[in-house]
Amino acid sequence: MIKLWFGQIVSVVRLELKKTFFSKRGLWVYLLAFAPVVLFGFNSIHGTHERQRLARQAARHPISQAAFNDIKNGLSPDQVIEKLGKPYRQYSRYYHRGGKKHRIVFYRYTDGKIDFTYQFEDDKLIRTHRRNPNALTQTQLVFATSFQFYFLRLAVFFGCVGVFVNLFRGEMLDKSLHFYLLTPMRREVLLAGKYFAGLLATIVIFTSSTALQWWAMLWQFERGVIVDFLASPGWSQFAAYLSVTALACVGYGSIFLAVGLLFRNPIIPTAVVLLWESANPFLPPLMKKISMIYYLQSICPVTASQDNLPPLLGLLISPTQPATTLTAVTRIVLLTLFVLVLASFIARKLEINYSTD
């Protein structure tokens, strides 16, 4: 019996895979999945140009490291120029405080690797910004933020909507679902076959995207920097991101397979799930744990930056300890099984009534 079920699942997967990968209806899933690869690619091109620009700038106007070390807060613009020479770029901004207009002046210098921006207010140096386009720390943080706030919450989420909802709903619309139901196959087996087909397709699409994003992120850096990073902690981070992507497909896939079976119009339930997942940072700790994104974020290797959130929104975030990897994985798998069992009950009662679909 198990052998028969396995054979039937494999046959369903074969039939579904072609449709899932090459369906015109699902082209936007590829756009959604691979958009961040393009963005990281552009970022890498920009980073490379930036490094070349800084090197050229430093060659034209060499400044010793000792001179940079000599710059301290409180110096006037003239004193800085005296030590470092004329900045390669100078600009100013205005702002109002206490009914008074203030002017901030920025001087930019480089030693060929780091871009220094000196910030003056009331003719005094108040802050030094250092930007190192060759440093991976900042890029890793950008990757983590993009991964958790765009890729997981939007790309994988909506990608799973597009793939899994269509497994049943799409065939209802195409009026071809009945062919499956005219075979001596248990509805649960059909459901499993369709789920695995969707899972295989989404895992291939989205883990490929994660891998390409990773490659696009690193591509701009010098070989030595990349080798050092991969040695520790690069490869383990890479594996973690791939695993999180696959787990997101496992979890969201089951939810949207059930949505496709249960609802004629998946928009409203999808919006509800999206709202719940998006509201997760603001929910009380107990409710936070009834979501997919909480567990997925818990096992992300780098904590995403929330520095750029508006202060009021930041206040609303309820701090919660992330779940351990074991807890997160177990709960995602349990939730998936629960949803799939529920979906199999719906599948058993599934009727073919194309005229009303």
Partner 1 sequence: MKNDLITLDNVSRFYGEVLGVNRVTLSLPPGITSMVGPNGAGKTTLMNLMTGLLRPTRGRIRILGIAPTQSHKLFGLVGYATQFDAFPKGLSGFQFIYSFLRLFGYSNAKCKQLADQVIEQVGLSDAAGRRVAGYSKGMRQRIRLAQALAHDPRVLILDEPLNGLDPLVRAETIKLFRRYATEGRHVLVSSHVLHEVDMISDQVVLMSGGYVVAEGQIQGVRSEIQERPVKILIHCKQPSVLASRAFEHEYVVEAQFLTEGSGVLITTRDADRFYRLLNHLAVNGIDIEGVTPADDNVNSVYDYLIGSEEKMSL
Tell the burial category of 21 from Cβ atoms under 10 Å away from its Cβ (0-12, 13-18, 19+).
middle
Stretch that binds partner 1, among 253-261, 278-286, 316-324, 346-354 (CB under 8 A): 346-354
Determine which residue in the list 62, 175, 271, 314 makes contact with partner 1, applying CB under 8 A: 175
342 is a site residue for partner 1 (CB under 8 A)? no
CA distances from 317 to 144, 280, 285, 286 (A): 18, 9, 10, 14
Determine which residue in the list 35, 187, 230, 342 makes contact with partner 1, applying CB under 8 A: 187
What letter does residue 319 receive in the DSSP assignment? P
| Nearer of residues 25 and 289 to partner 1, judged by Cβ | 25
CA angle 248, 158, 306 (to 5 degrees): 70
H/E run at residue 95: strand 89-97
Residues 126-165 as x/- pattern, contact with partner 1 by CB under 8 A: ----------------------------------------
Stretch that binds partner 1, among 173-181, 198-206, 214-222, 303-311 (CB under 8 A): 173-181
Q: Least distance (Å) from partner 1 to the CB of residue 208?
A: 23
Using the Cα atoms of residue 280, residue 139, residue 72 and residue 78 in order, give the sign of their dihedral: negative
| Nearer of residues 69 and 355 to partner 1, judged by Cβ | 355
Residues 6-35 that bind partner 1 (CB under 8 A): 7-8, 11-12, 14-15, 18-19, 22-23
| Nearer of residues 152 and 343 to partner 1, judged by Cβ | 343
CA distances from 41 to 45, 46, 221, 229, 262 (A): 6, 9, 12, 19, 40
CB 68 within 8 A of CB 112: no
| Nearer of residues 78 and 351 to partner 1, judged by Cβ | 351
To the nearest 10°, the Cα dihedral for 227, 233, 236, 242?
A: -80
Which spans of this chain sit near partner 1 (rule: CB under 8 A)?
Answer: 4, 7-8, 11-12, 14-15, 18-19, 22-23, 174-176, 178-187, 348-349, 351-354, 356
